[in-house]
Structure 1
Amino acid sequence: MEPIFFVQLSDIHVNAPEKNNPMFGVDMSAKLRAAFAEIRSMRTKPAFVLISGDLTQDGDADDYRHLRRLIDEEAERTGVPVHVGLGNHDSRPAFREGYLGEEPSEESYYYSFLEKSLRVVMLNSQIEGSHDGEIDAKQLAWLRDTLSEPAPEGTIVVLHHPVTATPNAMMDGHLLRNPADLKDAVHGQGVIGMLSGHIHFHNIGSLVGIPCAAATGVAFGLDSTSPNTMRFLDNSGYNLVTVSGGHMAVQPRMLPGEQRLLYEWDPAKQPAHA
């Protein structure tokens, strides 16, 4: 069977341009377009693109309308489908209204799809008003039911919040609250990999032998080597993912950028961060 090749983007933090309030003074829409331009330059065309949450910065319906137009344009130019999930900066009601064109609702947004014989599951780990995440009991039950039907090439689970620790203690409060529950749901069920974002730097780990890869942000990065402050950097990256023979391989990639310091948050001096 031919390998399945796709791209994971994360943390794009787009706002509607008419707001004229770009985060850190950086045009996040332009950064997303640059990521798609890089995808179009690849010699191997990906089967699809995933965006694993933090679709917008403010989470307003107008932000999602703008984002939907942008993604539709880039998906058509690139010739690949784009699948999105939600993160802590997202609003479920505004997403449903602005991006999906549905009635606003607090209902969690999660689903699965097949690419040839590979199944991809997109979960919703956001907790309103919190930087950490959780997979609720309803989703866990749905996930168990979904995984009970085997997929020939296996299943990749995608969620916004990382399930494994990072080398940076500043991120300890930004992970999934209930990784043990997720571990119980996926163990021995043909899950070949887990993808996440949220922390804005690349990080690799494993959960019950399942490789777990967090992608850096498209909008900006964080300095993973800074132990006591959060250093927001003007960089951008993504993950290239290949599935072959029931195994997932991940290549973290960075786009050309200035690497300049955008902002530094010191929790000892400032009450909150972006």
Structure 2
Amino acid sequence: MIEQTFIHISDTHLTPSGSQPSFNQEIDPYLKLQLVFDDIKKMDNKPSYAVITGDLIHEGQASDYVNFKKIIARQEEELQMPIFVILGNHDRTEAFYNGYLSETVKEKYYYKQQINGVDNYFLDTTFENLEQGYLDQQQLAWLSKSLQTSPETPALIFIHHPVFGSSLENMKFSILQNGSELIRACQKGNVKGIFSGHIHFSTTYLTGTILNFVSDSTAYHIDCRKHHQHFVSDIIGYNIISMSTEAEISVENRYLYCGQKIVKNLDVGSTGFVESSIFDTNSVNISH
């Protein structure tokens, strides 16, 4: 029996004012996101909430996040559900705090929400202006402590950069660089799933007993099957997640458009994990 359904969207890469769509997209990413929302409205069983796992605006300014906030507020009203967001490496923390939250800027944006008896953790894996993800010790300690306070409660983790799995062998250089630390923290509680994006293709794998689901993008797909050359094409994808009363998770991939034309080639050097010493700092540049 399904207890709840929610929507997982990722990597919208909305275009900043006055810029061209990122990665040579030929379809307006704002239109792509609107088509996703329009598709959600067709569902008979309305979802409880939606999450957008980062890369909201492609390197935008505060005014772009003001506009994004208006879009989200309108969709929350029309869909009658909350929409939660986290940050990705192409987001700009200071602009997000000033434009989306209208709050004093902090180094990291992370929080927890309990919905229908499930603890949802929204984490910030951005590190300065790097492509790679990294979870700082403050967030890991906060997560561990919170999980330990309710070890039997089902929990879900939302991050931008995915934890390593065998299907990400060609993407080690780009994903969460200290994913093993996150998995150790998850073992403090009853984490059922980790949901992420960033790599622009969909994949699912287990880390121990934890389901890892990596979402494709609403903006563009990246074919990463070749080690040292990746190929970009337009796409519109999102996911419908169902969770049973026994906290069993199922995922439906929804694709509204799959472009066949390659719009950009990406040359890739080393595909291994990066040197960990680049994260050895206690000072994070919040302005990226």
The answer for the alignment partner of 2:112 in structure 1 is 112
The answer for the alignment partner of 1:142 in structure 2 is 142
Describe the SS at the equivalent of 1:3: strand
Conserved 8 A contact 1:201-1:214: yes
Q: Is the deviation greater in 73-82 or in 194-203?
A: 73-82
- 1:206-255 per-position Cα deviation (integer Å, ceiling 9, x unaligned): 22220100000111111143332121111121121111112222222211
The answer for the alignment partner of 1:50 in structure 2 is 51
Change (3 A) 1:166 1:10: farther
Separation in structure 2 between the aligned mates of residue 167 and residue 5 of structure 1, nearest angstrom: 26
Conserved 8 A contact 1:6-1:240: yes
Conserved 8 A contact 1:168-1:227: no
Deviation, structure 1 residue 92? 1.2
Code of the residue aligned with 1:260 in structure 2: it is K
- 1:127-155 per-position Cα deviation (integer Å, ceiling 9, x unaligned): 12211111110001110121122276500
Conserved 8 A contact 2:205-2:212: yes
- 1:151-191 per-position Cα deviation (integer Å, ceiling 9, x unaligned): 76500001000102353544121111111211111115110
Separation in structure 1 between the aligned mates of residue 261 and residue 69 of structure 2, nearest angstrom: 29
The answer for the alignment partner of 1:79 in structure 2 is 80
The answer for the alignment partner of 1:271 in structure 2 is none
Structure 2 gap ranges (5+): 270-288
Conserved 8 A contact 1:125-1:134: yes
Describe the SS at the equivalent of 2:12: coil
Describe the SS at the equivalent of 1:124: coil
Separation in structure 2 between the aligned mates of residue 89 and residue 170 of structure 1, nearest angstrom: 21
The answer for the alignment partner of 1:158 in structure 2 is 158
Code of the residue aligned with 2:126 in structure 1: it is Q
The answer for the alignment partner of 2:95 in structure 1 is 94
Conserved 8 A contact 1:124-1:159: yes
Conserved 8 A contact 2:170-2:227: yes
| Aligned residues: CA RMSD | 1.8
Change (3 A) 1:151 1:196: same
Code of the residue aligned with 2:76 in structure 1: it is A
Conserved 8 A contact 1:168-1:226: no
Change (3 A) 1:152 1:187: closer
Describe the SS at the equivalent of 1:182: helix
In the TM superposition, 1:1-274 aligns within 5 A as 3-16=3-16, 18-23=17-22, 24=24, 25-103=26-104, 105-150=105-150, 154-167=154-167, 169-244=169-244, 245-267=246-268
Describe the SS at the equivalent of 2:239: strand
| Higher relative contact order, chain-length normalized (CA < 8 Å, sep 6+) | 2
Describe the SS at the equivalent of 2:101: coil
The answer for the alignment partner of 1:272 in structure 2 is none
Taking structure 1 as the reference length, the TM-score comes to 0.91
Separation in structure 1 between the aligned mates of residue 114 and residue 68 of structure 2, nearest angstrom: 24
- 1:2-54 per-position Cα deviation (integer Å, ceiling 9, x unaligned): 511001000001124x4142222431111111111111111211100100000
Conserved 8 A contact 2:151-2:189: no
Conserved 8 A contact 1:218-1:236: yes
Separation in structure 2 between the aligned mates of residue 172 and residue 114 of structure 1, nearest angstrom: 32
Separation in structure 1 between the aligned mates of residue 42 and residue 202 of structure 2, nearest angstrom: 22
Change (3 A) 1:239 1:169: same
Change (3 A) 1:59 1:151: farther
Conserved 8 A contact 1:119-1:151: no
Describe the SS at the equivalent of 1:107: coil
Code of the residue aligned with 1:258 in structure 2: it is G
Q: Is the deviation greater in 223-232 or in 34-43?
A: 223-232
Identity rate of aligned residues, in percent? 30
Paired residues in the alignment total 266
Code of the residue aligned with 1:19 in structure 2: it is G
Code of the residue aligned with 1:173 in structure 2: it is F
Taking structure 2 as the reference length, the TM-score comes to 0.87
